Amino acid sequence: MNKKEDNFLIYSRLPTEKINKNTFNIDRIDILSVVKKLNDEDKKIPLAISKKLKEIAKAAQIVSDAFLNGKKTLFIGAGTSGRLGVLEAVELVPTYGVNSNRFIPIIAGGKTAMFKAKEGAEDLYINGKKEIKKIGKEGDILIAIAASGITPYVRGAIDQAKDQKMKVIFITSNTKIETNKADITIAVDVGPEPINGSTRMKSGTATKLVLNMITTSAMVLSGKVYHNWMVDLKPTNYKLILRAQRIFCEITGKDIKTAKKILKETNYDLKTAIVMAVKGISQKEAKKLINDNNGFLKNIIG
């Protein structure tokens, strides 16, 4: 058997390439039935993820520990997987007030691949290695995403990350893949895609949910959340300015006039403004108190 035939067999046996019997007639039924079948398939995703909660919790702890120790978390993937990693990294910045150099997305094909598919980019193992060699450092975290589990670009990144003594979290829809180089593997069995091989569907949805759980939990562990308020948000637009004002009022019990006054005084540093209002102290004292408590509001205002 030659290499091409061998690869054909490998790919044809992937869980993500299996035929979905439930949607086999999807091209010959009415549109409402099409939508219902897709919805029925999507309902299976949260249940599949629920079987991987221990792995997700461990991943969140690793990301939080790295963050609190000044290390970076890198997201890498190709196609849909890469775009989901970009989305996760980018949205952490305004939501939790983190620096963009602490959560870094990498997508096969570079920035333009976000808007235009560069499918061949995922086949370049060496490029995945190069990206991590350029950015990663010992103690950093790599969140590697590959629905099929065998994407060469992502596998190259994993190999390089281990060479550089980084920790690796591997997210995939292939429960049969060999992942001995990953510290944590989150292999979610979503079953065959409704449209054969279209991993932007159930696999993509599962990936998004898992990423949300990892990063949100990590930020909770890192003191970026008080009860369920995002108290380190960066008000970079009008909606977020209003949210900062509302959160201030809800936590402190103060009126909107006071909220605007103190938030303006702190240049909309929400956490500092809250401590100032609740404790009746200066901005300098509030910042010191926050620093002394590693940013955890629950340890300052209860």
Which residue in 161, 167, 145, 160 sits closest to 66, CA to CA?
Answer: 167
Taking residue 169's Cβ as centre, other Cβ atoms within 10 Å add up to: 26
Spatial contact of 219 and 66, defined as CB atoms under 8 Å apart: no
d(CA 20, CA 159): 33
- Catalytic-residue membership of 122: yes
Could you please report the per-residue DSSP string of 90-106? HHHHHHH---TTTEEEE
- Catalytic-residue membership of 91: yes
Which residue in 208, 214, 209, 226 sits closest to 97, CA to CA?
Answer: 226
Q: Which of 55, 88, 122, 131 is catalytic?
A: 122
d(CA 221, CA 280): 27
d(CA 36, CA 17): 22
Which residue in 68, 280, 98 sits closest to 301, CA to CA?
Answer: 280
d(CA 275, CA 281): 8
> Would you state the structure tokens that stand for residue 259, as one six-digit string?
């909220």
Q: Which of 91, 119, 178, 250 is catalytic?
A: 91
Residues with active-site annotation = 91, 122
